[in-house]
């Protein structure tokens, strides 16, 4: 095995005795990850100081409240048209004569913020738009607390070429669990990674039964409170497929040694099996503040980041094999990961368009993964040995989005019988 991007045995950069308060930049601050990260920071003012926040701009009031609460130096807004509303909201909170934070605006604002002076950048942006900020943070030598799995998945070799070993600390609960469990042995002693899945709201349903699923049903996740795209991805298990690709890239473990198992209670977040037959699992109640705090504080843990397991009560934890017929997304993701190149970008972009089509009532639930598979097949096999560039990724994504939209529009005209 080569050195991995997220090796818990490596501490990058090394903690120093002089370091007391760690400067943090939070990308995607008004989303689920960002708001929980701010909760961790506010409860630990002696450990963390936020110097910059970025958001799309749709929740200007919340962004202004966060900036005022944390007294940040800079705020980045992806939508320039949101700047007047953000500035007005900031002005209403800051005292007369008190300087407002600098406001960066435009599609490159988060990228500029990601390379600013700080210790750690938490990338909590949703979607592949997080790729440029991920690359910027790594190139600037920052520790990257990575919640934006898409940037690693679509960037692939681009990210691996820039990141130093151990520079990335994963924030996804599954990859944080693997990160922690891997401390239990040497890398050459790892037999397999076991990624757990809640199974989403439709665990146990057949593919035929899934044909009539509505957006309202798919958005009702039994365990996690997430944004709409991630919630639908959890219902289709596309999210788990993306996590398999991410685990492969983070830990340099072959796809055939990464297994998915359904665990409805979501207390065991993932496991590592070692060559002697021992399996180490990381367990905690489903609360993202724990992996977020580990991402911000590594190599030190943040006390009381989230509640632990209550061992005074009885627990039943179940495990089931993945139903690959009802949920073919994980197998498709493995195939895409094996293809490499721009194939993961095509997979991710097509899925995002298909999720939107499903939420708009233009595509049936099963049509999400079926359409993504069709787009991936049309894309074909990337040229072996071709060096991946950001332009390649963007071009592949543009094509995949357009083609997925075309196929979804065609499916919208189909009869209910044909859809099923």
Q: Which residues are annotated as part of the binding site?
A: 30-33, 56, 148-150, 172-174, 198, 221, 227, 234, 239-240, 243
Locate 397 and state its tokens.
């994504």
Alpha-carbon 378 to chain mean position:
26
Residue numbers belonging to the annotated binding site for Mn(2+) = 172, 174, 243
For strand 258-262 and strand 320-321, is the pairing parallel, antiparallel, or unpaired? antiparallel
Q: Is 156 in contact with 5 (CB distance < 8 Å)?
A: no
Tokens 């600390």 -> residue: 169
Q: What angle do CA 394, 135, 6 make, to 5 degrees?
A: 120
Instruction: Tell me the C-alpha distance between 168 and 395, whole Å.
Output: 26
Residue numbers belonging to the annotated binding site for 1-deoxy-D-xylulose 5-phosphate = 149, 173-174, 198, 221, 234, 239-240, 243
Instruction: Tell me the C-alpha distance between 130 and 354, whole Å.
Output: 19
Residue numbers belonging to the annotated binding site for NADPH = 30-33, 56, 148, 150, 227
- The strand order across the sheet containing 258-262 reads 279-283, 268-274, 190-197, 258-262, 320-321
Locate 234 and state its tokens.
């959890």
Coil, helix or strand for 39? helix
Phi-psi group of 347: left, alpha or beta (phi > 0 → left; psi -120 to 50 → alpha; rest → beta)? alpha
């Amino acid at each position: 095995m080569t050195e991995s991007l997220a090796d818990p045995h490596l501490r990058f950069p090394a903690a120093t005795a002089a370091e007391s308060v760690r400067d943090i930049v939070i990308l995607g601050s008004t989303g689920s990850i960002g708001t929980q990260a701010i909760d961790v920071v506010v409860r630990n003012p002696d450990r963390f100081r936020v110097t910059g926040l970025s958001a799309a701009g749709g929740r200007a009031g919340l962004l202004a409240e966060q900036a005022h609460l944390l007294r940040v130096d800079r705020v980045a807004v992806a939508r320039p048209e949101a700047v007047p509303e953000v500035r007005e909201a900031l002005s209403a909170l800051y005292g007369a004569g008190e300087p407002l934070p600098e406001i960066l605006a435009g599609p490159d604002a988060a990228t500029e913020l990601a390379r600013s002076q700080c210790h750690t950048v938490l990338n909590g942006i949703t979607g592949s738009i997080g790729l440029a900020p991920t690359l910027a943070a790594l190139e600037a030598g920052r520790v990257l607390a990575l919640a934006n799995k898409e940037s690693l998945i679509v960037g692939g070799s681009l990210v691996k070429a820039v990141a130093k070993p151990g520079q990335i600390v994963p924030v996804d609960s599954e990859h944080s669990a693997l990160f922690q469990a891997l401390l239990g042995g040497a890398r050459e002693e790892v037999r397999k990674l076991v990624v757990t899945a809640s199974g989403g709201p439709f665990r146990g349903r057949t593919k035929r039964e899934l044909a009539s699923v509505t957006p309202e049903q798919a958005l009702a996740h039994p365990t996690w409170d997430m944004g709409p795209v991630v919630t639908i991805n959890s219902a289709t298990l596309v999210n788990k497929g993306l996590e398999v690709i991410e685990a492969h890239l983070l830990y340099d473990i072959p796809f055939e040694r990464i297994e998915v198992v359904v665990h409805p209670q979501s207390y065991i977040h993932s496991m590592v099996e070692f060559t002697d037959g021992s399996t180490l699992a990381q367990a905690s109640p489903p609360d993202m503040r724990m992996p977020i705090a580990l991402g911000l504080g590594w190599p030190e843990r943040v006390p009381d980041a989230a509640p632990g397991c209550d061992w005074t009560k009885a627990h039943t934890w179940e495990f089931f094999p993945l139903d690959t017929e009802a949920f073919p997304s994980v197998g498709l993701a493995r195939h895409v990961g094996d293809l490499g190149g721009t194939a993961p970008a095509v997979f991710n972009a097509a899925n995002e368009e298909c999720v939107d089509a499903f939420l708009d009532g233009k595509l049936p639930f099963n049509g999400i993964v079926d359409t993504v598979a069709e787009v991936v097949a049309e894309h074909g096999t990337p040229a072996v040995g071709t060096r991946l560039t950001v332009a390649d990724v963007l071009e592949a994504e543009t094509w995949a989005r357009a083609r997925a939209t075309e196929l979804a529009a065609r499916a919208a005209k189909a009869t209910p019988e044909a859809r099923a």
